[in-house]
Amino acid sequence: MNKIINCWNRHSHYYKIAAETNPYQNKKALNILINYAKQSNKILDLGCGEGSILNMLQGNKKELIGLDVSSLAIKLARSKHENCKFIKYNGRNIPFKDNYFDLVYSTYVLEHLANPEEYIQEAIRVTRNNGFILFIFPNYGSLVFKSPCFKGSLIKRSIRVFVKYLRNINKRTLSRLYWDRTRPMLDIEYKPDYDTLCEPDLITLIKFLRNHNCSIEIAKTFWKIENFSKKAIINFLGQLFVLFFWLIKIPPLKYWGLTALIVAKKNKP
C-alpha cells in the first residue's frame, strides 16, 4: 500500500490521466450521486483525489469535505476548489465523530483499497442515522469483467466467481467481502486502474452493508462504456451478452455490468 501512496504523491499527471481516460466513468451513476447530494447538507467524499467530483456537488449551505491519503491530491484539490474543505488522512480513521454526515460517498475508490471492509465500516460510522452511503466502482469482481491487474487463467477465475455467487446468493448478509486481491502494476507507464488492489463486486457488498445495519436503496450495474470510442466493440459485445442472459432469464444479470452503483441507508440502532 505504501508503494501505491508514493505513486499517487509522486506523479502530478496521475490525477489528470485518471480523470480524462478512465473508461468506467458513468454519467447515469454520477447523476444519481448528484440527486442524493441535493438532499444533503453535510457531504463527505472519501478518497476525493483532486476534488472535481466533490466540487460538482456545491450548493447553498452545504458543508463539503474531501479526504484523501495523498498529500499531492489534497494540494491540487485545495488549489482548484476553494469552496470545499480538503483534509489528508491516514486511510483508516476518519477524523470526524459518529453520525456526522448526511451523505458519505466514494467514486472509483473501492478497487484501490487494501482494507475495504474497514473503510466501509468507517464510512457507515460517520454517516448519521437515516443518512446515505453511496459507492460507485468498476465491478471487477463480476463474472464478466476483470481488473487490468488480473493475471492468471480466465477460465479458472470465471469458475471461482460463479462458485462464490452460488455459495452466497441465498445469504441475506455477509460479515466479509471475499474480494479477490490483485497486484498493482506500478513499474510501467500508468494507465487507468493499473493501481488496483482488489476486485470489488456488487453482490457481496449488498450483503455486507446489510450486515452492518444498512438497508439498500439502490443496487444496480451499468453495461455501457461512455466517452471511450476505442471500447465501442466491447460495449457492443456487452449488450449482446445482456440480451442473451435476459432471454434465458439468469437472475444475477443485473449485478454483472461493468460499473456498479450502490446506495445504502443507515438504519437506527
pLDDT digits 0-9 by tens, 97-153 = 999 999 999 999 999 999 999 999 999 999 999 999 999 999 999 887 888 888 888
> Which residue in this structure is represented by grid cell 484539490?
77
pLDDT band at 43 (very low <50, low <70, confident <90, very high): very high
Nearest Cα neighbor of 208 from 173, 255, 234, 184 is 173
Residue 137 burial by CB count (10 A; 0-12/13-18/19+): exposed, middle or buried?
buried
The structural domains of the chain, with segments of one domain joined by +, span: 2-266
Predicted TM-score of the model (pTM):
0.85
Nearest Cα neighbor of 126 from 94, 89, 92 is 94
β-pairing verdict for 85-88 and 63-68: parallel
Mean pLDDT value across residues 227-252 = 52
Query: At residue 209, does pLDDT exceed 90?
Result: yes
CATH number attached to the domain at 2-266: 3.40.50.150
Instruction: In whole angstroms, give the CA distance from residue 265 to residue 155.
Output: 37
